[in-house]
Amino acid sequence: MLIDKDFQIAEVDPRVYGSFIEHLGRAVYGGIYDPGHPTADAQGFRQDAIEAIKALNVPIVRYPGGNFVSGYNWEDGVGPVAERKRRLELAWWTIETNAVGTNEFADWAKLVGTEVMMAVNLGTRGIDAARNLIEYCNHPSGTYWSDLRISHGYKDPHKFKTWCLGNEMDGPWQIGAMTAYEYGRIANETAKAMKWVDPDIELVACGSSSRDMSTFADWEATVLDLTYENVDYLSLHQYYNNNKDNTYDFLATSLDLDQFIDSVASICDFVQAKKRSKKKLMLSLDEWNVWKSIGTSRMEERWQIAPPEFEDVYTHEDALAVGCYLITILKHADRVKMACLAQLINTIAPIMTENNGAIWFQTTYFPFMHASNFGRGTVLRSITSSPKYDSKDFTDVPYLEAISVHDEENGTITIFAVNRHLDEKLELNVDLRSFGETTFVEHIVLENNDLKATNTKENPRNVVPHNGGYTTVDQGKVQAVLNKASWNVIRLKTKQA
């Protein structure tokens, strides 16, 4: 593996380490909000959850959905809590109490040190509700909606910068699903109105709900043809799982994600060329994760309040897959400027809680935490060779998946690497001579002899990282051993630091 400080892909936008909280399952109620918990603050937010999320260093969180947003009346979630309406929530067949809404979530975001990526309802609503919401959130004062916010106890505007124009509007499961042309028209007109209210915002148009949608590519091309000059990002959503129990194939799915990102970037560039535009559209991978229960939908017993939904239990192999996806995202740092691990707590999440009780971290918590905390700086375009394998759906899959990030300001180089081989170690040799003298800091490893090993409330430290990995550095050359089926973080210091 050859790494040169001048072979650069792009600066990492910290928002690629974003996440997502939807009014789904116990993500909000029982997750971030649990008034009966011993650590709950005056607003009902769990402090132990806040500390766990702060450790992930998440710079942006998407809210309030997700499928939920396509039936959401934002006015239901503001004003005195005791006066808020309970609604039948049709996306997930639950009852939404509206105890947490826009202002409460803004307060929570400040507590965890994150920005909010808001979404507007383009399913059952549209331009009018969107322009009113942004006036409520972002306008200082002196108008009906901004003064209403002030009357609710929020003198200063929230100044939410990033907004999603609906969610997965191509999906037949979506409330108010549309054709690409229908969506493109309403998204463009909504974008115009929102930017007239606040010209400083940035907007995300809905791409396909996944690469597997029958309308994929045509959807993107049509939507962008109608919205290109008024939006700033196009979204991508993609989930994977190992429900067929083929680990080698599962760990190769990051190649599919790589191709998906390349394909969408190409469509954006096609529309740019067609329109002879000077603007290059960037990408927001604002839903991604391992989702094992994706084939199921909704609770059988309707109209419960915050029932447990999609509470997948993640294994060691799931953590390896998440590590591969993080590396893939970094490889596309020139185009992917935002990404949201979906979701953050309880619902297909790295953090789990018990109502009024314990909190623990799933296996996937650790690679995400490592990447978010150590993967800041400039992504380097490395020259890598690795032995390869073929699986059921993929050919020429490298056993080594790796990327490096150079933080010049702090004088650090971090190598993220996954050894996909399930039985053998890999020797990693890295040429870093262009950086001059470098010294070893630590080699963090996440490994387990049982690929199906999990962390649970009863055994929360069954799969945890250690910093006993083998790495040596001599005259700009790094030699490391990557144990079988392992996630690795090799941290180095440059002399100039």
And the tokens for 473?
A: 């550095």
> Is residue 323 within a helix (H) or strand (E), and if so which, with residue range?
helix 316-331
Burial class of residue 241 (count of CB atoms within 10 Å of its CB; 0-12, 13-18, 19+): middle
**CA-derived radius of gyration, the chain:** 23
Instruction: Determine whether 287 is an active site residue.
Output: yes
Q: Are 346 and 311 in contact (CB under 8 A)?
A: yes
CA atoms within 13 A on the CB side of 291: 19
Which residues sit opposite 2 in a β-bridge?
Answer: 383, 431
The Cα–Cα gap between 239 and 282 comes to: 20
Catalytic residue among 287, 317, 401, 447: 287
Catalytic residue among 135, 168, 309, 317: 168
Do the strands 202-205 and 233-240 form a parallel or antiparallel pair, or are they unpaired? parallel
**Which DSSP category does 85 fall into?**
P
The residues near 136 (Cβ < 8 Å, ≥ 6 apart) are 74, 78, 102, 145, 146, 148, 149
Burial class of residue 133 (count of CB atoms within 10 Å of its CB; 0-12, 13-18, 19+): buried
The Cα–Cα gap between 444 and 464 comes to: 10
User: Is residue 12 left, alpha or beta, with left meaning phi > 0 and alpha meaning psi from -120 to 50?
Assistant: beta
Q: Are 389 and 248 in contact (CB under 8 A)?
A: yes
64 preceded by a cis bond (ω within 30 of 0): yes
Q: Are 163 and 187 in contact (CB under 8 A)?
A: no
First CA to last CA distance, the chain: 23
Q: Are 197 and 134 in contact (CB under 8 A)?
A: yes
Residues serving a catalytic function are 168, 287
